[in-house]
Each structure stands twice: as structure tokens, then as C-alpha cells.
Structure 1
């Protein structure tokens, strides 16, 4: 299910009702309490308005990737487990930097250390410790994603949770979709106006739905296996195929009609 954000834009004009309201206020007694907000509405004008919805979708090819790594270790003691995890993590980070990934694009997103218990024993004895550190690597050029994943696995990464693709031109593509949605709305309004023997006077109200920065990502979930994900994305040097990302805009527009 798609969830849309809404932004509203109003176009306002000066009517005779505003002037009449101002004259009425001038005649009030000095002791009369005035409301904080004065609303003036032209009911007749509201009846001469049509409202339509326009949608437009633009497809873009992603050019960047984001990879969610996991480094998992298991040792007999908590200290040894943490030390091994840190060593594997540092090796992976150094490999990433050596492949041209900026330090600002590497983030430790979460980590956890927990005991491993023998639940078959009445005493539930601790038989070891395990630790997982999740690493998020962003702003990876698509052309480098497969190579980076494969070499990261060789450096010590043993889990790839997901790979997400996005377009660096998402905002420009959304503006294109937004213009298309407005054109669709205007075409609908024009047809309705002509059917009613009227013409469009202008836009009086616009509501925008659809700007969703999070939807610029199209994700591939690997199931947690680093080696399987790396092979799937770069088997025998095969290029990463990110497909397309949909950019959708929707507007609701109200038009005033000429008689």
C-alpha cells in the first residue's frame, strides 16, 4: 500500500465580501469582543468550482547503491568474541576504504553481544558468546557495487542483509512527475468544463500528494548470506542489475469556472 504525503497550496483573491466585512467591523461598539480569526467565504463562488485529481509516474534507472552488512563472530568468552568481531569489522572497513568508499559513507548501524546457552541442560549453562555488528555503506556507484560486495566478503563480512538501489536524480524526476500530474489534472478539468458549456478561469486550490524520499530505494534482500548475495549479484563478473525505481506524483486541483 502506498502512503502519500500531502502539501497544500492556496491561491487567494480580494472580493467584495472582504470590503463588506471591514465596513461591518467599523460599526461595532467599542466594548464588543472581536474574534481572533475572521473567515470570509463567497458561497456562490464555491459552487462554481470543479475539483479533479491527476497522477503521473516516471521510471528512473538507479545509479547508486546502499549495502547493509553484518559481521558475526562466535567465541568461548565475551572478551574474545568482541575482540574477534572488532578485528573482522576493522578489516572490512579498511577494505571498503581501499576500494574508494569514503569514511562518511560507512556507518555502524547496530551491534549486540549475547551469551549462547545450552537449553538442554537443567542448569542452562553458557557455552559461548556471539556478537553481530551491522554496517551500513552508502553512496556506492552501481558499477562498483558487485566488486565491493565480493571483496568485503573476502575481508571478513559474513552477512549481507540487503542491497538498496536509488537514483541520485530522484528530485528532478519527481518534479517531472509533478508537472505531468498537473497536466493530467488540467486536461480532466478542461473536458469537464467543456461538457458543462463553461471554460476554466484559473486554479484556486492545489493539494500535492506523493513526495516520498524513502521510495527512491528499491531493495534486494539476500536472506543474510553474504556469499550467496555476492554470488547472486556478481556471478562470474556479471554486472549488478538494479532495474528501475518508480517516481510517482499526485495532485488534487480545484479550478474556478467562467460562465
Structure 2
């Protein structure tokens, strides 16, 4: 039994400084992986370096092609790039009428263009290696209608279809590509959203949101990280071109 060991592998994780990304980073380090984190928040980088000193961090705006290529070239000179996890993303609340052009451009620049930039940079190295794994963070919003998530759903739908295209186009190079689609996961983002929008009612709203999941609770970042670990390990070597909901039954059991 391998226990999903990532020894001698190098992973690049975007948005690895908090929430799901940080949980994945922590778990991969525990499984002997050399992890490089791309993060655009210097405070998150400082905290990550303090919490997980084994990690190599890079301040990067993934919407900027030149920044992404510079960092991947730096990483690729020192080792193979075995794994890319496109985790970084931003949220937006609103329907089409109250979503501005600026909102749409902002979501696109990170959630779609950022994935494109990082995947393209990683594939340059993975093709030469004739191996590699790309794991994208999609969402249940990729496949089901959710109220007031127009721009966000658009972007995550694109992540899902980019996953399928990459998986199909790079089979001959031994490169696998899958995505994970979480439902509500209890991260610092959720706590910040509740404190900003429901001051004094955080506990009640947290319970209300938790009960929208058929299992009656939100997911944990560590649960998403465990799925990511399996999908990026050699044990998942026959898996590519798939979307994996981790949603407490939301897609199939709701209603």
C-alpha cells in the first residue's frame, strides 16, 4: 500500500496560503512532496512560511502571464514539475443584472485566465517529461444552478470544460487532468463573509447555510485535500478527464 506517497515529487499550488489551498499544501508536505505555493497576498505568504516552513513561496498574480512564466521557469530549472493544482479563485455574488462589466473582468482574470496561464506554463515542462498531473478546483456551480452566482458559475463552468480539453489533448504525453467540485466548505472566507454581511447573526447564518447541505454540515478543507492527494498520486494513474463533486450529497440528493 502506497498511502499516496508523493516522495520525490514537486507540486505547484496556487492560492495555497489559506483555506482549501493551505489544507492541500499541508497534506502534500506531510506526504513528502516538495511544494511551491503561488500566492498574491504577502500576509498569507508570511503566515504560511511560519506554519509550514518546508514550503517554497512565490508572490505572484496569476492573471499576469509574465509573472507566471517567470516563476514556473525558475521552478522548472531546479526540478521536474510533477503536479499543478489550480486552486486560486475569487467569489462574486449577484445575478446577471447586478453584475458589472468590471465584476465579470475581475472574475475572468483570476478564475479563468489564471488557470489558463498556470496550466499552459506547467504543460511546457510536463510535455517534455512525458508525465504530469493537473488538478483544477471547479465547483458544484459548474454543473447546477445556484442563485446569485452568475459570474462565479460562469467561471467555474469554464474550469470544468478546460479540464476536459486538457485531459483529451495531452493523453499522448502521459499527462492527467481532473477537477474537484466542492460545495460549501468551511474556510476563513465563509467566516469573513458572515461577519461582513450578517454582523451579530454569524452563528445563526452559519447553521442555516450548513443545513442547505443534505448531510447537514459544511465540508472541511482537509476533506477536499484528501481527495486532491489521491487524484494527484500514482494510485489514481488510470483517472483522467473527470470532475469529482465533494458536496455532502448536494448535486444528487438535494430537494
Give the TM-score normalised by structure 2. Answer: 0.24
Structure whose CA Rg is larger: 1
Of structures 1 and 2, the one scoring higher in RCO (CA 8 A, sep 6+) is 1
Tell me which protein shows more strand as a share of its residues: 1
Decide which structure has greater helix share. 2
Q: TM-score, normalised by structure 1?
A: 0.23
